């Protein structure tokens, strides 16, 4: 499922790497490396995750799934999770599921987390079915029609959910990922970026799928969007942020462009009206 760069993409990225001023990087990175999208589940224990992250000199943010229909679905569950992570030097996060997740927790409990992220990968089809776009369930009929509905849904996630980070941005299902550069038109990118700016949501640079594209990131940076890095992995990929670093270097990202957890009072759930 990883989005491989085409040969042409590779040539373009390499050329821009050579040409970019990347001023911040030429003096060394001025922000700490954090992987804000780590899943500690199945065989991956927190101890193992920390060991891998330490080898890569990356701090991790654990993103346990939470939502009204998830195992972690109320304040008691959320606080048990926070308690469980408290002995460890990690950011405590949640990957929120469903547009309505914020209704199942109190604002106070949510604000005890360092961050909440969400994505647009569980996509409501016309008949109401929720389709997991990263699986074979995703059947794309009319590509343009899909893109219009998908961009609408991206905007809805960002506008409705009080999240810190929009994860897996611009992800496309396997069947159409080869047409990424054509389907993500400037107008469609702008709609997602405008929503992120309006609602002060950071955009993840995702190492697993190697998204968003450089073109998207460049526009987002110019619009003042903040970025986080995320591996979105359970296993060996923890803290493996090659694509993020490549993009950060090309774009000359520095600390002022990077997401960091807000104080409790200024968490999205506090500053945004409950949906
Ligand atoms: Zn995830």
Q: Is residue 14 part of a domain?
A: no
Q: Is residue 6 part of a domain?
A: no
Q: Which residues contact 70 (CB under 8 A, 6 or more apart)?
A: 97
**Is 275 within 8 Å of 102 (Cβ atoms)?**
yes
- Residue % of the chain over a pLDDT of 90: 84
Q: Which residues contact 144 (CB under 8 A, 6 or more apart)?
A: none
What was the pLDDT predicted at 11? 46
Q: Per-residue pLDDT tens for 74-130?
A: 999 999 999 999 999 999 999 999 999 999 999 999 999 999 999 999 999 999 999
Range of the domain at 147: 30-271
Q: Is residue 197 part of a domain?
A: yes
Q: Is residue 137 part of a domain?
A: yes
Number of domains in the chain: 1
Q: Is residue 65 part of a domain?
A: yes
- Report how far ligand 1's centroid is from the alpha carbon of 240 (Å): 14
- Report how far ligand 1's centroid is from the alpha carbon of 7 (Å): 28
Strands 115-118 and 165-166: parallel
Q: Per-residue pLDDT tens for 124-148?
A: 999 999 999 999 999 999 999 999 9
- Report how far ligand 1's centroid is from the alpha carbon of 64 (Å): 8
Q: Per-residue pLDDT tens for 14-71?
A: 444 444 444 446 567 899 999 999 999 888 899 999 999 999 999 999 999 999 999 9
- Report how far ligand 1's centroid is from the alpha carbon of 36 (Å): 10
Q: Which tops the pLDDT comparison, 220 or 1?
A: 220
Cβ atoms within 10 Å, residue 251: 22
- Report how far ligand 1's centroid is from the alpha carbon of 229 (Å): 12
- Quote the tokens at residue 76: 């008691």
Q: Is residue 260 part of a domain?
A: yes
- Report how far ligand 1's centroid is from the alpha carbon of 71 (Å): 15
- For the whole model, what pTM was predicted? 0.89
- Report how far ligand 1's centroid is from the alpha carbon of 232 (Å): 5
């Amino acid at each position: 499922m990883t989005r491989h760069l085409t040969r042409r993409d590779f040539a373009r990225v390499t050329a821009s790497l050579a040409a970019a001023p990347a001023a911040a990087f030429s003096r060394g990175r001025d922000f700490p490396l954090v992987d804000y999208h780590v899943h500690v589940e199945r065989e991956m224990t927190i101890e193992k995750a920390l060991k891998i992250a330490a080898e890569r000199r990356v701090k991790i943010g654990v993103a346990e799934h939470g939502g009204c229909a998830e195992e972690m679905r109320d304040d008691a569950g959320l606080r048990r999770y926070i308690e469980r992570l408290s002995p460890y030097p990690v950011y405590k996060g949640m990957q929120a599921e469903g547009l309505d997740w914020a209704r199942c927790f109190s604002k106070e409990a949510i604000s005890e987390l360092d961050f909440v992220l969400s994505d647009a990968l569980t996509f409501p089809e016309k008949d109401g079915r929720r389709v997991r776009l990263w699986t074979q369930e995703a059947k794309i009929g009319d590509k343009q029609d899909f893109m219009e509905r998908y961009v609408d849904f991206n905007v809805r996630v960002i506008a409705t959910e009080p999240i810190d980070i929009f994860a897996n941005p611009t992800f496309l299902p396997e069947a159409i990922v080869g047409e990424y550069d054509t389907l993500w038109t400037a107008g469609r990118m702008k709609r997602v970026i405008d929503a992120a700016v309006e609602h002060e949501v950071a955009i993840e640079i995702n190492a697993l799928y190697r998204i968003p594209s450089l073109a998207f990131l460049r526009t987002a940076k110019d619009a003042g969007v903040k970025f986080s890095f995320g591996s979105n992995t359970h296993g060996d990929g923890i803290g493996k942020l090659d694509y993020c670093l490549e993009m950060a270097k090309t774009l000359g990202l520095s600390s002022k462009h990077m997401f960091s957890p807000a104080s409790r009072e200024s968490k999205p759930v506090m500053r945004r009206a409950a949906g």
